[in-house]
Structure 1
Amino acid sequence: MSCDLPRPQHQHDLEVESSMEVLSHLRVVEIGSSAGTSYCARLFADFGADVLKVEPPAGDPLRQTAPLTPGGQSAWFAFLNFNKSSVVIDPAHPDAIKRLTALIEGCDILIDGRDVDAADCPTIDIDNIRQRRPGLVYLEASWFGGQGPYARFAATDSTVRALGGLVKLVGPTEGPPSHAPDFQTGIVAGLWGFIAAASSAVARMEGGTGRSWSLSVFEATLTLTEYLMFDAFARGDVMRRIGINRFWPNFPVGIYETKKGWLGVSAVTPKQWREFCGLLGLSELRDHPELVSNEGRLQNMDHIDGHLIPRLKTRTAQEWFAEGLKRKLPLVPVPQLSDLLQDTEKIASSAIVRVRLGQEEGRTVGSMQRLTLTLPRPGGQVPGVGEMQRRGGVRTAERTIPRSLPGCIDGYRLPLQGIRVVDFTMGWAGPLCTRTLGDLGADVIKIEAIQYPDWWRGVDRPPGYFEDRMYEKAPCFCIMNRNKRGMTLDLKQPEGLALAKRLVAQADIAVGNYSVDVLPKLGLGYDVLRALNPRLVMMSMSAFGSYSVHRDCRAYGSTLEQGSGLPGVVGDAGGLPVMSHIAFGDPVGGLNGCAAVLVALIHARKTGKGQFIDLAQVECMMPFVAPWITVHSIDGMPPRRYGNRHPQHVPHGCFRCAGEDNWIIVAATNAGMWQRLATIIGRPDWAMDPSLNSPEARRAIEDDIERGIETWTLARDADQAMSELQAVRVAAGAARLPIDILKDPHLSSRAFLQEVNRAFVGLHPQPSMPIRENATPYPIRTAAPTLGQHNAEILSGLLGLSDTEIGQLATDHIIGTSMLSEAELPHPEHTPN
């Protein structure tokens, strides 16, 4: 999908400030070894922060993480750490603690991954440092948080994803469940860490003090599966693994072979299903009454695929994609790594950037936060161990944010309190972005219309949908829109449009994730809105970007994963590309959007200038495939796929336990863990054999080892097996279903799930953020609004309208509190992405 990047329509009159890096006033120190904290720090480096990575003499253990380049450099470490500096502090040196303390006292933000891996970092008294430097922002990450039944569990990326419900629903029906390679938890946790630290930087600019955050990698991972958790709460225990590239509750959503290349398909709504069947010439499927709903299609998957598979092989993926564009269908070619590296659009947008790793030069994934005024750094160099690599030398200028702030605002003030957001989003990605801003204290005003409200209030609309107000009972809508105020405005009517403009004129941020042309055609494009409010940060969250030649491609979270390149590195060697989630791209896009908005907000607070953010959600998925992109850019070889095995950890796999469809992921990450594992499964001979201490040696008997593990796990329930393995510090995680997470003992002990009461729904659980300042999470302040719930409050309180004026708006259907039926609609629906 290569192309020339179109010139942005407003680029000619924007003064690009790439030389004035927006976070250049911040110094960040990173200690310990954790993928999540490393990625968090890299996001600061992307926008010019001075990031100093503290390493032991042997270097960060992540420097040994596969995949490796031909020169033996870790492509994963390279992605996480380019444009940082490295300093070595030897814990055995008598001045180690003094040196490290001085570095921390001289920084604005401390990012701490020691609880994941201490990496020989000297012991320091963080509380004492924070007393002397109250402006310090501190982020501490751990696998599971400081307290709770799992707090001291040994963990890997895969065992955490298993516990988070991200493994058991994926793969062949008969099992074993399959899972993607490592790196997912690190990316998601890193985004959450950045959101915590960047929001604290915003708060400090308003006179606030520094903040101390804890980040649970496990809880961060639940962002990817929370909508399935709450669908299960509403529907019961109905989710099961239904096959490779098949996912409940929608069908067809998967990857199909074509005449040339692979095609990602996501036909979700009844209209899309009919259009897809029409495109393929399958009128018998299109007109079958049982196949109108997703439920009916799920019950007839094999029959449907029997028609789809041969028909799709009659044309190429690119040809189907072109036809899908004409019909507004979510179809996308599944790219290979070479396609991504040759995509001139991604190179032009800096989604693909150059990186130097020692003597090697390759390409990796750049910043996903596409700010158009303050550009991120376009690639860079990976520091050697102890290499004080700085752009322009060591910076000594004073910072605009003081490190010590006497007389600060109350530390319990939420970090984004006082920020106003106008929310033109629907579905998952956009609402998650704005929900997070609301959770952090922003005043978020969600705009819907009684003619076309948020589509996540229901796609399939059974009898009674309107009369029984079922659109107020959708659990996914409820979890994505808490801590917001809701109002309705018909933006196609002049009165509604004028009111929206008045709201935006008073706002700090506006976010939209409609198709790229919707808001501009309504008269709410950035060029119009910045004339009303020059300090406005406005973000468009489209699938491919506002100026992409694929800008009109319809997309869901599944489409974004299909188009990212990730499926090509998942699964067994020689097998088809494999999706790893049902809607992976949605939450990832939402978190990246929140991160981008916070960077732009910092710039706006410094300069008074707003800007446009052109977030391409498909690019937000590319970090998950970054290491393979780098290796392929250097050696040109296809990526090696390991299935449920691992390039470093032997053994590593998903093993059957006692009972029906019970599974556990087990991994040995070092020689000591291997010896403990061998001993507990009854193979002391393996444990005492020094020749098996290396993973390379164990690889030769990996089949035998896996049989030995499964013989042991088959005699135990998954939770029992996990308990016994964790008791001897072996990394293990039971493969959970989403419904299991609702009663997870660790989450319960940490008050992660909060009870919220809402009209039409009653008491229901809501997930907390995985970042917290205290032992308990931020409380959820308000439930998701009902349709138009805050119309009068906003129109009178913010815009000064009289009761008579508000009444007339209701009479004219500009506002309202009840959804109009399809028969009453005067206009076609808006379409997400």
Structure 2
Amino acid sequence: MKPTKEALSQLRVVEIGSSAATSYCARLFADFGAEVWKVEPPTGDPIRSSAPLTPAGQSAWFAFLNFNKSSILIDAADPRAVKRLTLLIEDCDILVDGRDVDGANCPPVDVTAIRKRRPALIYLDVSWFGQDGPYAEFTASDSIVRALAGLIKLVGPVEGPPLHAPDFQTGILAGLWGFIAAASSVFGRMQSRAGRSYSLSIFEACISLSEYQLFEAFQRGDVMRRIGINRFWPNFPVGIYETKKGWLGVTTITPAQWRAFCDMLALPQLRDDPALVLGADRLNHVEEIERLLIRRLRKRTAQQWFAEGLKRKVPIVPVPEMSDLLQDKEKIERSAIVPIRLGEETALTAGSMQRLTLTPPRRGGKVPCPGERQAFTNNRPNSTTGVSMFLDRSGPAEQPLLGTRVIDFSMGWAGPLCTRTLADLGADVIKIEAIQYPDWWRGVDRRPDYVNRQMYEKTLRFCMMNRNKRGITLDLTRPEGLTLAKRLVAGADIVVDNYSVDVLPKLGLGYEVLRRLNPRLVVMSMSAFGKNSAFRDCRAYGSTLEQGSGLPSVVGSANGPPVMSHVAFGDAIGGLNGCAAVLVALIHARETGQGQFIDLAQIECMMPLAAPWIIIQSLCGTSTRYGNRHPQFVPHGCFRCAGEDGWIAVAATDAGMWQRLASVIGRGDWAADPSLKVADRRRSMEDTIDRAIEAWTRTRDADQAMFQLQAASIAAGVVRLPIDLLKDPQLRYRSFFQDVERAFIGLHPQSSIPIREGARPHSIRRAAPVLGEHNTEILTGLLGLGEPEIADLKRKGIIGTRMLSEVELSQRRSSQETSTI
């Protein structure tokens, strides 16, 4: 497929205020050709001073967030400042506003008045916690928000403290959500010519990562606790282990994977133990199992074990260091690693991971100096709107994707999160399963008792990821099922799958086949490593993606092992990147009539989370691990509170906050010491400061300590478990959890998406489908089949509403083989 013009070159974006989330959102538009104007004060965006710094003193974090943008300096003290900024906004398509995070001395502008004059303007306002609620005025930082969102407490040693990952995560997560909001608005505007105004809570955006554990705990009870570094409930082993040379990421989910892993290590006693069939069972014997695993794994290198895992279809992967990523030819060829210019320095960093093949993203670029305007060659359709001329078909306010149809071949978490988000925004998503092989998030247990009690309809994780969708069953291995799938695809806009790269092509649903059926079709393959990767045959889960991304190598203490941050980090990140990629391709298809293939490698989607470290490694040949400390903020960490496993995250992000913190904990002498205004001076006595903070927090409940510190405008947040979020006062105030009724489960909570157009969250229109729930509705309503045809499909097992057990599946295979003889 020959690349064409940049997909978003018709758009102009203005970015005001200062936040990592808005910067990353705007940079994603720049990646695909949009003209992005970053408005800064004369002193520059505050993020320009964020550590880690390059040898020339440039911020690696700022560089990653802002290449390919133009910088415009506007001095709020200039009498013409408001008029200049107003005119700039009136001539753009999208305004991305980070002032609620940091105003960055931006001139005050009346966005409401501008939107009345320019109703086509798309507006995105980003804040830490939303505009209302008990946390609305909280002082925050990346780690504080992650602590509150349940993303820290389950990581680290049993005795504590919980472990922080580096401070570069909320900006990526929230930036992706911001891009999804704005890009879906661009698409909606192509139909209605009306802009939209979205608000985004960074805190709520982070719950995309914690909702899986939250709802598992809701369904199974409050069973999750911190169980050690690189250990996560409910599966085991899922972690990182030392080998003869290098570290190895291991994930065993299904009983077959566990058996194959034990065979690989020559541990038949573990393989054959009936008490160790499922991961939750193995968690009861962690120490005993790990003693055996570790001894065996140290006999061979990570690369040797990886080769063995490929043969046996076991999800294992070598865990790279930052230096390994920079030497990875495949990642460089795929533009997962790209060159950027920072003043006189040339560095490498993570590229755009939305791998569109017809309209690919830019390959690296230049970081603007303050006030520097980049040269652009794009031609806007007209100077004031950039709106394509399409029929006015406005729909319900919260559904910009209304009228769009998605055929969803995905399973588990990553693909279903992508398609759930599309469904939440109004798309008609048709989920295709089979009674022979339903979505594995319904359960991997195929024993008759599990199937006969219909336990596959009672898993809340499946319901969480598949709301607002319609569900159909089709056996794609049979001609009748394949024909029906092709007919559905012919009338769709988008196809998404997250199988291994060869699955759909082998079934007869490869991209070239689908393209002939529907030239406007956007087809996305969300494989683990990419269509042409040397690792394409490696089995992978969200945990595998984190293990192989390089991120664990910058988490934890300098002398410790690489540390995972999440049970399946790669799934949610892959899903959000997939949604962003689809929206770019959908905008291009609507404007040009050209569909395209998206080769999304989920492992690459994890790399932006380590982007600053990649830059520093490329320039300095080394990178630093800080543990719970911070390259810029002192103090910074998790501190024990009263009660069982109570913790609070605290960060002093500037000198004034440090002085207030010192006063609150009773160290007025520190607050008055002018030398301690300098972070480097405080760093020299950081152990002493940490002990003083903990002496104060130990006498207080975590919530009490948080509100007391926040009353003094000190960044602090309770380190919560995911299950705690159901009672979180901010989320309850904002009605973040919506109660949904579903067969087999009854009334249960669902988390809202973190973007909203008004005070209320986007509504959840329907519960997740039971297996084959919409077979008749779709086959008759969309494909025009009659009752006799549907009855014949049921009789042949092409469609159905009941999952087959292992025994039934084996019997059916035997019957089919006999009938073909």
Partner in structure 2 of residue 804 of structure 1: 788
SS in 1 for 2:794: helix
> How far is 1:725 from its partner?
0.4
Whether the 8 Å CA contact 1:209–1:405 is kept in 2: the answer is no
CA distance in 1, matches of 2:511, 2:369: 42
Partner in structure 1 of residue 549 of structure 2: 564
CA distance in 2, matches of 1:396, 1:695: 50
Tell me if 1:656 matches 2:640. yes
Paired residue total:
812
Q: How does 1:258-277 map to 2 (within 5 A)?
A: 258-277=243-262
SS in 2 for 1:198: helix
SS in 2 for 1:209: coil
Partner in structure 1 of residue 818 of structure 2: none
Partner in structure 1 of residue 2 of structure 2: 15
Q: How does 1:463-542 map to 2 (within 5 A)?
A: 464-542=449-527
CA distance in 2, matches of 1:763, 1:802: 34
Tell me if 1:589 matches 2:574. yes
SS in 1 for 2:634: coil
Question: Partner amino acid for 1:254?
Answer: G
Whether the 8 Å CA contact 1:136–1:403 is kept in 2: the answer is no
Partner in structure 2 of residue 389 of structure 1: 374
SS in 2 for 1:206: helix
Whether the 8 Å CA contact 1:134–1:404 is kept in 2: the answer is no
CA distance in 2, matches of 1:466, 1:784: 19
Partner in structure 2 of residue 776 of structure 1: 760
Q: Provide, for residues 347-404 of structure 1, a one-character-per-residue CA deviation record: whole Å limited to 9, x for no partner.
A: 1111100000000001111110000110110110000001012234997954784399
Whether the 8 Å CA contact 1:52–1:87 is kept in 2: the answer is yes
Partner in structure 2 of residue 361 of structure 1: 346
Tell me if 1:766 matches 2:750. yes
Q: Provide, for residues 734-758 of structure 1, a one-character-per-residue CA deviation record: whole Å limited to 9, x for no partner.
A: 0111111011111010010000000
CA distance in 1, matches of 2:389, 2:445: 55
> How far is 1:635 from its partner?
1.3
Within the candidate set 40, 52, 72, 2:37 is matched to 52
TM score, norm. by length of structure 2 = 0.97
Partner in structure 2 of residue 315 of structure 1: 300
SS in 1 for 2:450: coil
SS in 1 for 2:629: coil
Whether the 8 Å CA contact 1:62–1:77 is kept in 2: the answer is yes
Tell me if 1:28 matches 2:13. yes
Q: How does 1:275-674 map to 2 (within 5 A)?
A: 275-392=260-377, 398=383, 401-402=386-387, 409=394, 412=397, 414-460=399-445, 464-637=449-622, 639-674=623-658
Partner in structure 2 of residue 11 of structure 1: none
CA distance in 1, matches of 2:394, 2:606: 38
Whether the 8 Å CA contact 1:252–1:267 is kept in 2: the answer is yes
> How far is 1:459 from its partner?
2.0
Whether the 8 Å CA contact 2:380–2:386 is kept in 1: the answer is no
Within the candidate set 193, 196, 215, 2:200 is matched to 215
Partner in structure 2 of residue 788 of structure 1: 772
CA distance in 1, matches of 2:662, 2:216: 40
Question: Partner amino acid for 2:769?
Answer: P
Question: Partner amino acid for 1:705?
Answer: I
> How far is 1:285 from its partner?
1.1
Whether the 8 Å CA contact 1:25–1:400 is kept in 2: the answer is no
Q: Provide, for residues 88-146 of structure 1, a one-character-per-residue CA deviation record: whole Å limited to 9, x for no partner.
A: 00000000000000000000000000000000001110100000000000000000000
CA distance in 2, matches of 1:411, 1:443: 14
Whether the 8 Å CA contact 1:654–1:665 is kept in 2: the answer is yes
CA distance in 2, matches of 1:456, 1:66: 40
SS in 1 for 2:727: coil
> How far is 1:824 from its partner?
1.3
Q: % of aligned pairs identical?
A: 70
> How far is 1:310 from its partner?
1.3
Question: Partner amino acid for 1:781?
Answer: R
Q: Which runs of 5+ in 1 are unaligned?
A: 1-13, 829-833
Partner in structure 2 of residue 5 of structure 1: none
CA distance in 1, matches of 2:486, 2:218: 38
CA distance in 1, matches of 2:172, 2:642: 33
Q: How does 1:66-105 map to 2 (within 5 A)?
A: 66-105=51-90
Partner in structure 2 of residue 121 of structure 1: 106
Q: Provide, for residues 172-206 of structure 1, a one-character-per-residue CA deviation record: whole Å limited to 9, x for no partner.
A: 00111111010111000000000000000001111
Q: Provide, for residues 543-571 of structure 1, a one-character-per-residue CA deviation record: whole Å limited to 9, x for no partner.
A: 00011011010000000000000000000
Whether the 8 Å CA contact 2:71–2:371 is kept in 1: the answer is yes
SS in 2 for 1:760: coil
Partner in structure 2 of residue 718 of structure 1: 702
Partner in structure 1 of residue 672 of structure 2: 688
Question: Partner amino acid for 2:660?
Answer: R
Q: Which runs of 5+ in 2 are unaligned?
A: 814-821
CA distance in 2, matches of 1:625, 1:679: 35
CA distance in 2, matches of 1:394, 1:53: 19
> How far is 1:464 from its partner?
2.5
Whether the 8 Å CA contact 2:495–2:522 is kept in 1: the answer is yes
Task: Indicate how the Cα distance of structure 1 residues 494 and 673 shifts in structure 2: closer, same or farther if over 3 A, else same.
Answer: same
Question: Partner amino acid for 2:802?
Answer: S
Partner in structure 1 of residue 736 of structure 2: 752
> How far is 1:786 from its partner?
0.3
Question: Partner amino acid for 1:149?
Answer: P
> How far is 1:424 from its partner?
0.1
Whether the 8 Å CA contact 1:25–1:399 is kept in 2: the answer is no
Q: Provide, for residues 442-476 of structure 1, a one-character-per-residue CA deviation record: whole Å limited to 9, x for no partner.
A: 00000000010000001245662111100000000
Whether the 8 Å CA contact 1:353–1:363 is kept in 2: the answer is yes
> How far is 1:410 from its partner?
5.2
SS in 1 for 2:347: strand
Question: What do you get for the CA RMSD once the two structures are aligned?
Answer: 1.5
SS in 2 for 1:563: helix
CA distance in 2, matches of 1:478, 1:410: 26
CA distance in 1, matches of 2:500, 2:379: 44
Q: Provide, for residues 683-709 of structure 1, a one-character-per-residue CA deviation record: whole Å limited to 9, x for no partner.
A: 011111111001111111111110110
TM score, norm. by length of structure 1 = 0.96
Partner in structure 1 of residue 797 of structure 2: 813
Task: Indicate how the Cα distance of structure 1 residues 274 and 404 shifts in structure 2: closer, same or farther if over 3 A, else same.
Answer: closer
SS in 1 for 2:280: helix
Within the candidate set 214, 217, 241, 1:229 is matched to 214
> How far is 1:226 from its partner?
0.3
Whether the 8 Å CA contact 1:134–1:405 is kept in 2: the answer is no
Partner in structure 1 of residue 724 of structure 2: 740
Partner in structure 1 of residue 816 of structure 2: none
Question: Partner amino acid for 1:376?
Answer: P
Question: Partner amino acid for 2:22?
Answer: T
> How far is 1:337 from its partner?
1.2
CA distance in 1, matches of 2:394, 2:422: 20
Whether the 8 Å CA contact 1:26–1:399 is kept in 2: the answer is no
Whether the 8 Å CA contact 2:10–2:379 is kept in 1: the answer is no
Whether the 8 Å CA contact 1:134–1:403 is kept in 2: the answer is no
Greater mean deviation of Cα atoms: 712-721 or 338-347: 338-347
CA distance in 2, matches of 1:448, 1:411: 29
SS in 2 for 1:418: coil
CA distance in 1, matches of 2:22, 2:270: 49
Whether the 8 Å CA contact 1:54–1:86 is kept in 2: the answer is yes
CA distance in 1, matches of 2:382, 2:344: 32
SS in 2 for 1:153: coil
SS in 1 for 2:57: coil
Whether the 8 Å CA contact 1:28–1:41 is kept in 2: the answer is yes
